[in-house]
Chain A
Amino acid sequence: MDINIVFQIAAVGILVAVLNQVLMRAGREEQAMLTTLAGLVVVLFWVIQYIDRLFTTVQTLFRL
């Protein structure tokens, strides 16, 4: 697992939080929520393959 993924996820989190605040203060709550959801979807998309690898490894280790 590449450590860069951790920094990428952190950067996306910070940027989405800032964008969320900017949009909330401009009175665009719906767009702020959509931005947060979009950031969440992108990060989940990155993380899903590692979760899959984790489950496969656990299955192999415990011979399930």
Chain B
Amino acid sequence: MTIKLIGAAAIIISSWVAGIMFSMKSAYRLEDLEEFKKAVSIFSDSISLSAPPISEIFKDISKRVNGPVAMIFDDAGKMAEGKNYPSAEEIFKNAVDKNIKNLYFEAGEMDCLYSFGKNLDLEYSHEQKNGASIIISNINLNQKALKEQAEKDKRLYSSAGVLCGILMCVILF
């Protein structure tokens, strides 16, 4: 009987933890989005203050942000130094595709990411700045909806995890 109780407690706790881990996906997505917003702001400030080479801007951004977004800019900086690609957009797209499995972004955020890449090929710095501010406003809108979704998901998955654990115990015992 004691072993049954310990087993039941283990099942319930492990399914609760599994539920919480599912809900963390939204939290990681929010974090990545925040880092990308920071990266776009740093890019916008860098091009308004001076006109350094794109590889230096990417490397600077990769040092100042965290997570998969930093890895994207680090790879983009290395590719830009190598000068093997015809355009900055292609460099950025390749860097994103290389790190896509580390990102928690969905379709909307991936569109923002690729449109930032297209922004890099614009001729004038004021056009690039305008593009960057449009991307930042899109991100702000997405973030607001995501925060509410993350709160709901956290409550849903943790309670669903506990209920599924209890259901499994009832079925098995």
Contact B152 A16 (CB under 8 A): no
CA distance A43 to B88 in the complex (A): 60
User: Main SS of chain A's interface residues?
Assistant: helix
Name the distance in Å between A42's Cβ and chain B's nearest Cβ.
6
Residue of B nearest to A46 (CB): B171
Residue of B nearest to A15 (CB): B167
Q: B residues 116-172 with Cβ under 8 Å of A?
A: 152, 155-156, 159-160, 163-164, 166-167, 170-171
Contact B160 A23 (CB under 8 A): yes
Q: Which residues of B contact A18 (CB under 8 A)?
A: 163
User: Which of A22, A26, A28, A42 touches B163 (beta carbons < 8 Å)?
Assistant: A22
Contact B170 A26 (CB under 8 A): no
Total interface residues in chain B, CB < 8 Å: 11
Residue of B nearest to A16 (CB): B167
- Judged by a CB distance under 8 angstroms, whether A56 is at the interface is no
Name the distance in Å between A47's Cβ and chain B's nearest Cβ.
14
Residue of A nearest to B152 (CB): A26
User: Given contacts A28-B156, A42-B171, could you give 11 more A-B pairs where the C-beta distance is less than 8 Å?
Assistant: A8-B170, A11-B170, A12-B167, A12-B170, A15-B166, A15-B167, A15-B170, A19-B163, A19-B164, A23-B160, A26-B155
What is the interface of chain B, defined by CB distance below 8 A to chain A? 152, 155-156, 159-160, 163-164, 166-167, 170-171
A–B Cβ pairs within 8 angstroms, 23 of them:
A8-B170, A8-B171, A11-B170, A12-B167, A12-B170, A12-B171, A15-B163, A15-B166, A15-B167, A16-B167, A19-B160, A19-B164, A19-B167, A22-B159, A22-B160, A22-B163, A23-B156, A23-B160, A26-B152, A26-B156, A28-B156, A39-B167, A42-B171
